[in-house]
Amino acid sequence: MPQPVGEPDLSRPEYYLNRELTWLNFNFRVLHEAADSRVPLLERLKFLAIVGSNLDEFFMKRIGGLKQQVKAGITERTVDGRTPEQQIAECCELVRKLEARQLATAVELLAELAAVGVKVVDWSDLEEEERTQLRKHYLRNIYPLVTPQATDPAHPFPFISNLSLNLLVTLRYKNDEHLSLARVKVPLGAAIARFARVGETEMWIPLESVMANNLDLLFPGMKVEACEVFRVTRNAIYDVDEDTADDLLELIEAGLRKRRLAPIVRLQVAEGFDPARLHMLSHELGLQDRDVFENSGLLGWRDLHELHELARPDVKDAPHHPAQHPDLLTDRPVFDVIRDDGPLLLHHPYQAFDTSVQRFIHQASRDPQVHAIKMTLYRMEPGSGIIEDLVHAARQGKQVTVVIELKARFDEAANIRWANALSAHGIHVTYGVLGLKTHCKLILVVRQDHDGLRRYAHVGTGNYHAGTARLYCDHGILTCDAAIGADLTELFNYLTTGYSPARRYRKLLVAPKHLRRALLERIERETRLHSEENPGRLQFQMNALEDPDVTRALYVAAAKGVSVDLIVRDGCRIRPGIPGLSENIRVISIVGRFLQHSRIYYFRNGGAEEYYIGSADCMGRNLGARVEALVPVEDPALRAELRRVLNFQLADQRCAWRMAADGSYEQRRPPPQRETSTFESMIAWAHAREFEGARLRNRRASSGLPGLEGSG
């Protein structure tokens, strides 16, 4: 790595890591959890499945997008100096290394699971009685769903759906040497699992193994010469011209139909696939050699999630029970607590989502003093209680407005259903601003208090999804700050009209118009205020750091002496530790029990500290192509909470990986007695706060102090 002389030339590509490659390297860290003996066995299996799911998404989104660029003739280099073609080649090479390690990890892990009674087996491992039972199960429950498709001049090569698992069967009549081919799709879905239980045991067999060994049911009287397994991945990127759209809902529905027919970007085949048939298959699917990935293990590792759900507490993490927020251990309405006691900071999954955010919406829907509810929805869970509350509010005559992001990747169909359902109940549903994704997480409630209308708000870092709120690390603030309420009114007016006159936000930092500039100005301010007597400090937590402008600004700040701590979950462009340039930058990635998903921005600001939380990562798409919002955390007690959260992560000695100047990561591995996990520290802190809150509440109640209960 060359050392900069004088002012660094920040246009040099070697100062920037590649977005796609750093994201793939994140998956090596996830895979490490699958190999770590400190992690319970079924949790290790979960991490193995996560890597498989991540790679599927990587090919659908990132490789698919890069291939579109190549097809369009784009040769422009990224800030790290790579063309789209170069990125595809390097990514495919790294994926093969990742999959090799994934297979080695799986072999070892499955052997350890077998030792405790959980076995993944093949048909050849079964006794005759077990085979007979499975054949009966297959014939009764699955066989009616199976449709073989021949490939010959009368039957063109069939359509292969995205992420489908398939058998390519080579067969002939017994007295005929002519070979025929048939494709058989493994009918996986909501009702059909990938793994079938063998009798009443804890042995599990992949469904394709059962089907491959009972092909006589599909092809009676024929000779099966070979049965080979393959799986395809299609591009999930589809182009829609919103500027010409008369109906955005119809446009997204058309895009989903288009995605189903999108080009295939990856072919996975089981080891030992016949070369001639593989060549034929690749040709039919329009693929090059580099698009073919041969695996000797399972195709579709993501399906191992099924086995993680086994009721084996002896080989899983202890169940996680979120704590209650100490200020919500009361029967008082949430609005009274916020108004009288001040804003609340929420930490999920350590604090319960249902008794905080869901309670806020539930009470708003039923409070006769509430006149309006406005909310953004990006991802929702099936059967969400939040939807029921919004519908109830509309039935009670409240003004309910919901901004639904129809283009939330892989949730488009679900969001279309939510939009139609909400509209049917008279709720004002809008789809945001043309050309921009609505990614901010906002709720605005307008309530008639005793002294006039007051706006109550929730601004968060994560989706309003109760399921992921138990798995993702997110933060949110409940507040009735007048300036924040006014800003949210302006922002919702923008989202529901698309009109962008000179909107002024007093406290919120909003993308795409203001946020990038606001971050750059604050980083530059930190650089300007820095001195030996009053040192500058920046601490950012985010999912990814990709934006070149922010990366350059952080380099400049660090070169001037500002201390920069970055907690970045996956992709990160910046290189720490370059002599004379980034020696003051430290980058860590935390991988463990829960998914790091929060965004926190801290500026020391010469001692007048600023903290922000919100929905935006430092990525080009977040800052320039999405509606995002960061909200300041100004209450001293809440700032102290965020300081503690950041300190827990920076001090993590169990789940933290530190990046070196070459982009590689090394996990901190202190002696066992010194191991400290962010996740365990946060769990303990949340429960200690709940206990102390309950103790204080009981003490006040026993002494007859007022203000704990009632309507306020």
Mean pLDDT, residues 466-476 taken together: 95
CA distance 304 to 202: 14
Same domain, 449 and 522: no
Provide the b/e sequence for 392-424 (b: ≥16 CB within 10 Å): ebbeeebebbbbbbbbbeebbeebbebbeebee
Which has the closest alpha carbon to 408: 627, 244, 600?
A: 627
pLDDT of residue 707: 47
pTM of the model: 0.93
Task: Tell me: do 159 and 307 sit in the same domain.
Answer: yes
Q: According to the model, what pLDDT value does residue 421 have? A: 81
> Residue 293's pLDDT is what?
96
Place of tokens 């994934």: 102
**One domain, residues 223 and 367:** no
Q: What pLDDT score does 311 carry?
A: 94
Cα→Cα distances 59→19, 77, 264, 343, 679, Å: 14, 20, 10, 42, 30
* Rounded average pLDDT over 527-542: 97
pLDDT digits (tens, 9 = 90+) for 211-264: 999 999 999 999 999 999 999 999 987 655 555 445 556 655 565 566 566 889
Q: Are residues 104 and 237 in the same domain?
A: yes
Asked whether the predicted pLDDT for residue 709 surpasses 60, the reply is no
Do 518 and 503 sit in the same domain of this protein?
A: no
Q: Tokens for 153, please give them.
A: 């001049």
**Same domain, residue pair 502 and 577:** no
Rounded Cα gap, residues 627 and 631, in angstroms: 13
Residues 390 and 247 in one domain: no
Q: What pLDDT score does 154 carry? A: 63
Domains of the chain: total = 3
Does any domain span residue 246?
yes
**Where do the H-state alpha helices sit in 142-224?**
207-212
Q: Are residues 70 and 182 in the same domain?
A: yes
pLDDT of residue 384: 83
pLDDT at residue 1 above 70? no
Active site residue 439: yes
CA-angle at 332, arms to 329 and 683, nearest 5°: 20
Pair (242, 351) in one structural domain: no
Which tops the pLDDT comparison, 704 or 606?
606
**Do 597 and 473 contact (CB within 8 A), yes or no?**
yes
Check residue 711 and give its pLDDT.
Answer: 33
Angle at Cα 350 formed by Cα 346 and Cα 351, nearest 5°? 45
- In whole angstroms, what is the distance from residue 575 CA to residue 80 CA? 11
Higher per-residue pLDDT: 608 or 407: 608
**Cα–Cα distance for residue pair 703/360, rounded to 1 Å:** 29
For residue 264, CA distances in Å to 60, 96, 502 come to 9, 18, 45
Query: Which pLDDT score, from 0 to 100, does residue 223 have?
Result: 94
Does residue 30 belong to any structural domain of this protein?
no
Residue 584 main-chain phi, psi, to 5 deg: -95, 10
Together in a domain, 237 and 358: no
DSSP-assigned states of every residue in 368-386:
TTEEEEEEEES---TT-HH
Q: In the numeric block, which tokens belong to residue 60?
A: 């659908």
Residues 342 and 239 in one domain: no
Angle (nearest 5°) at CA 102 between 97 and 108: 135
The answer on pLDDT for 291 being more than 90 is yes
Q: Give the chain's mean pLDDT.
A: 91
Of 280, 315, 350, the residue at which a domain comes to its end is 315
Domain assignment of residue 145, yes or no:
yes
Question: CA nearest 515: which of 482, 542, 555?
Answer: 542
Q: Which of 439, 458, 475, 597 is an active site residue?
A: 439
User: Which one has a higher pLDDT value, 589 or 420?
Assistant: 589
Crossing angle of helices 84-115 and 64-71, in 10° steps, is 160
Tell me the per-residue pLDDT of 680-696, one tens digit each, with 9 for 90 and over.
Answer: 999 999 999 999 988 88
Tell whether 711 is covered by a domain: no
Range(s) of the domain holding residue 258: 39-315
**18: Cα within 13 Å, side-chain hemisphere:** 18
Asked if residue 432 and residue 377 are part of one domain, the reply reads yes
Distance CA 582, CA 319 (A): 41
CATH number at residue 484: 3.30.870.10
In CATH, what number is assigned to the domain containing residue 211?
3.30.1840.10
Q: Please report whether residue 33 resides in a domain.
A: no
